[in-house]
């Protein structure tokens, strides 16, 4: 698989990563057996994927433990990204950016992941009660201590947290510019896909101009762009899509032309709609790495194969002309 640098660092990873969250968080009540998840991570590594993206809150903790089982055998093949800063309660998630907590969280993640160093340590969400410079300074100390190689910023929740009519990532960029004064940001993780293109307006160019990598979360639109979901199929209450405005039966039906367009392009390349969606994300810049999440080995292998798909200018123009997705958080 093609490899890409992550920001201006000497670190690099396979051009398509593996989002491990769906194995233990956010999608189903029962999730899946540990052995199936284990096979999924191994299949991704076998297919050339190196970047494994997890977080301490996924489970919580069970996802890092699973990734740790793989790393115990294959640490040299993997680029490990995990996150801190969110605490999971019985029915809520709260931010914690206190320096002491950040350091304890890192030590706990290292133990669960069965590794001596975390390649990319991301702040999952800034704590509104703690100056972000203090949180970032504590994370920088982890780099100095040799526990972490680089720092990243997770902006996935920006859409939900926005309270003004300003650009979706305006506040995120202001925070990034603040923490850049403390220690370099190596990557930003944000939602980017054919049906969620807001990051292209300001965030993706900001990262490119400053040598910062962009980890594209949800590049398959929470599975919608794969074309495997049926309008009206319904989701379990614990599945995040059960509350997502774009996953009502009405909106899923209304957005089918997007999937149809991806399939038309896919036919020209003997590919799938999902692979075209991932190739489109790859085409947004050499600093962009899509991180599709999956729970099954077959999809991990298929996603990795998308790194070999090269879309033509005509393909990209056709995708650019697809209708914008209907259904919004705003």
Note down the domain range covering 57.
3-227+275-310
Digit-coded pLDDT (tens) for 159-175: 655 545 458 899 999 99
The answer to whether residue 268 sits within a structural domain is: no
The answer to whether residue 37 sits within a structural domain is: yes
CB contact at 8 A, 6 and 207? no
Query: What is the model's pLDDT at position 42?
Result: 98
Digit-coded pLDDT (tens) for 188-223: 999 999 999 999 999 999 999 999 999 999 999 999
Average pLDDT value for the chain: 94
Q: What is the CATH number of the domain that holds 127?
A: 3.20.20.100
User: Can you tell me the distance from the alpha carbon of 279 to that of 326, in angstroms, rounded to the nearest whole number?
Assistant: 22
CB contact at 8 A, 40 and 31? no
Q: Which residues are catalytic, by number?
A: 58
Cα-Cα end-to-end distance for the chain: 38
Band (pLDDT 50/70/90 cuts) for residue 89 is confident
The answer to whether residue 250 sits within a structural domain is: no
Query: What is the model's pLDDT at position 29?
Result: 47
Share of the chain above pLDDT 70, in %: 95
User: Can you tell me the distance from the alpha carbon of 131 to that of 140, in angstroms, rounded to the nearest whole number?
Assistant: 15
| Contacts with 229 (C-beta within 8 Å, 6 or more apart), sequence order | 223, 252
The answer to whether residue 31 sits within a structural domain is: yes
Q: Which of 154, 60, 156 has the alpha carbon at shortest distance from 109? A: 60
Q: Does residue 92 have a pLDDT over 90?
A: no
The answer to whether residue 191 sits within a structural domain is: yes
Digit-coded pLDDT (tens) for 216-269: 999 999 999 999 999 988 898 889 999 999 999 999 999 999 999 999 999 999
User: Can you tell me the distance from the alpha carbon of 207 to that of 232, in angstroms, rounded to the nearest whole number?
Assistant: 38
Per-residue buried b or exposed e for 142-161, using 16+ beta carbons within 10 Å of the residue's own CB: bbeeebbbbbbbbbbbbbee
The answer to whether residue 110 sits within a structural domain is: yes
Q: Does residue 71 have a pLDDT over 90?
A: yes
Q: Does residue 317 have a pLDDT over 80?
A: yes
Query: What is the model's pLDDT at position 28?
Result: 67
Q: Does residue 146 have a pLDDT over 70?
A: yes
| Contacts with 28 (C-beta within 8 Å, 6 or more apart), sequence order | 236, 238, 239
The answer to whether residue 145 sits within a structural domain is: yes
The answer to whether residue 157 sits within a structural domain is: yes
Give every strand in the sheet of 18-19, ordered side by side: 18-19, 51-53, 79-84, 118-123, 148-154, 187-191, 213-217, 288-291
Domain count, the chain: 1
Query: What is the model's pLDDT at position 126?
Result: 97
Q: Does residue 328 have a pLDDT over 90?
A: no
Q: Which of 31-40, 165-174, 290-299 has the highest mean pLDDT?
A: 290-299
């Amino acid at each position: 698989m093609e490899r890409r640098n992550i920001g201006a660092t000497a670190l690099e990873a396979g051009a398509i990563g593996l989002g491990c969250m769906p194995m233990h968080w956010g999608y189903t009540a029962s999730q899946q057996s540990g052995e199936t998840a284990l096979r999924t991570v191994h299949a991704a590594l076998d297919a050339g994927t190196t970047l494994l993206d997890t977080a301490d809150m996924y489970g919580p903790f069970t996802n890092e433990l699973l990734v740790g089982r793989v790393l115990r055998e294959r640490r040299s093949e993997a680029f490990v990204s995990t996150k801190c800063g969110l605490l999971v309660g019985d029915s809520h998630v709260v931010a914690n950016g206190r320096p002491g907590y950040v350091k304890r969280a890192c030590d706990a993640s290292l133990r669960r992941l069965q590794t001596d160093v975390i390649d990319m340590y991301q702040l999952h969400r800034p704590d509104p009660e703690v100056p972000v410079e203090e949180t970032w300074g504590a994370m920088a100390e982890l780099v100095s201590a040799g526990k972490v190689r680089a720092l990243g910023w997770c902006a996935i929740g920006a859409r939900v947290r926005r309270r003004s009519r300003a650009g979706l990532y305006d506040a995120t960029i202001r925070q990034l510019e603040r923490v850049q004064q403390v220690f370099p940001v190596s990557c930003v993780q944000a939602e980017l896909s054919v049906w969620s293109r807001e990051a292209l307006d300001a965030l993706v160019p900001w990262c490119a101009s400053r040598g910062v990598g962009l980890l594209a979360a949800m590049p398959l639109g929470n599975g919608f762009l794969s074309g495997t979901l049926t309008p009206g199929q319904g989701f379990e209450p614990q599945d995040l899509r059960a509350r997502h405005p774009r996953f009502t039966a009405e909106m899923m039906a209304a957005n089918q032309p997007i999937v149809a367009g991806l399939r038309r392009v896919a036919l020209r390349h003997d590919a799938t709609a999902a692979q075209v969606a991932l190739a489109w994300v790859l085409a947004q810049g050499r600093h962009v790495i899509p991180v599709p999440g999956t729970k099954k080995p077959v999809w991990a292998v298929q996603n990795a194969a998308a790194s070999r798909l090269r879309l033509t200018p005509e393909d990209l123009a056709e995708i650019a002309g697809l209708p914008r997705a209907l259904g919004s958080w705003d």
